[in-house]
Structures are given as structure tokens and as C-alpha cells.
Amino acid sequence: MATITRAEQKSETRRRILDAAESVFTEKGITATTAEVATAAGVSHGSVFVHFPTLANLLTALAVRFGTRLGDMLHTLSEGNSVEDFLYAHLSILGEDEDLYLFFLRNRKLLPPDTAADWLAMQSETAFHFAKMMQREIDAGRVKDVPVYFLFNSWMGIVHYYLENRDLFAPEGNVFARRKSELISSYLHLIQKEI
């Protein structure tokens, strides 16, 4: 019947700790403690270290899990879409985990180098699709002939800027939900060729 194996139990606990870490670090920032994570997860302090031998290890695991989740979602971004659809989809994805995304944006320097590399690799795929799509638009004469990598960097820069300053742009906390269309249409206006 609904028997739960020990292995399931274990990964369930691991998941709870990661979930707790996610919400605690998201809320309190990098100064959150392992004890707070334990409490939020409803497990003993020691349990945290059974699953993650080190705070750095926990953060890394969190980054990896989030990176995978985000990567999977970003995977669905295809160069086939229109620019608008692409950007819209991109922001929708980031918007799903806005808080966590911001956390890692701010604390990326704390991650071990190899995790940072994973992070980058993930970013790269988005960049790849973005570039392909944009190149097509440029070739079609719909977008200005600016290096595509610069188009990508601009987009990311703008997106991050709005995120970092979300308290200005969306005091209630969810920038993208609020500013998505505006952000996209302004950006489009910027990059598109005039007729």
C-alpha cells in the first residue's frame, strides 16, 4: 500500500531541508543560519548536516536544484518564436522564482567556482537561443544590426536592474508580474528598426 521506503523517506527529508533553505535564505538573505533552516524544515539541527555536510554544500545544492529547475524551463525557450513571445516566456520563467533568482543574483560570489560555472552554462543555453532568434530578426531587417551578444547582455542587464531595484519598481515584490509588458515593449521599441 502506501508504504514509504527508507530511501523515499530520506530524499523526502532532503527535499524538505532544501525547501526550507530556499524560503529561509530567500527571506532573510545570506545571513540566515543553518539552525533556522532546520527549524523551518521541522528537523533537528543535526539533520541538516546529515544531508549537507557543510553550509556551502547546502547552498551549492540549492543552486544546483534551482539551476536545474530554471534550466529545464529555459529549455523550452525556442528560437522559433517571435521576439516578443520569447522575451515574454523568459520573464514568465524568471518570474516564477523571482525571489530565489534574486538571491543567487546577489550572492553568486559565495558559490564555489564549479557551481558558478554550472550557472553560467545554464545561462549560455538561453543566450544561444536568444542569439539565434535575434540573428534571424536582424537578417530579416526587423532588428538593428547590433552584435547579438550585446543585445543579450542588454536584455539581461535591464532584467536584472529591474529585479535588483524591485522595491522601486514594484513595492509589493513581484516586478515581472507588474512590469513585464512594459519592459518588453520598451525593449522591443529600442532594438527594432524603424520602418
* Footprint on this chain of DNA (rule: CB under 7 A): 3, 5-7, 9-10, 12-14, 31, 33-35, 43-51, 53-56
Q: Least separation, in Å, of the C-beta of 132 and DNA?
A: 41
Asked if 126 contacts 101 with a C-beta cutoff of 8 angstroms, the reply is no
Helix 55-75 with 83-96: angle, nearest 10 deg = 150
Instruction: Choose, by CB under 8 A, the member of 162, 166, 175, 176 that binds a copy of itself.
Output: 162
Reported as type and span, the H/E element at residue 126 is helix 113-139
Residue ranges with strand state E in 3-83: none
Q: What's the rounded Cα separation, in Å, for the pair 101 and 71?
A: 12
Find the part of the chain contacting a copy of itself (CB under 8 A) among 2-10, 70-78, 130-138, 151-159: 151-159
1 binds, among DNA, a copy of itself, none (CB under 5 to 8 A by kind): none
Which residue is listed with cell 515584490?
Answer: 173
Contact flag: residue 146 with a copy of itself (CB under 8 A): yes
For residue 189, CA distances in Å to 105, 137, 155, 163, 195 come to: 27, 14, 13, 21, 12
* Cell 541538516 found at: 48
Is residue 173 near a copy of itself by the rule CB under 8 A? no
- Can you tell me which residue has the cell 521541522? 42
The minimum distance between CB 63 and DNA, in angstroms, equals 15
90 binds, among a copy of itself, DNA, none (CB under 5 to 8 A by kind): none
> Which of a copy of itself, DNA, none has residue 75 at its interface (CB below 5 to 8 Å by kind)?
none
Bridge partners, 192 (sequence order): 143
Q: Pick from DNA, a copy of itself, none: which does 54 bind, CB < 5 to 8 A by kind?
A: DNA
Residue ranges that bind a copy of itself, judged by CB under 8 A:
29, 106, 109, 120, 144-147, 150-151, 153-154, 156-162, 164, 168, 186-187, 189-191, 193-194
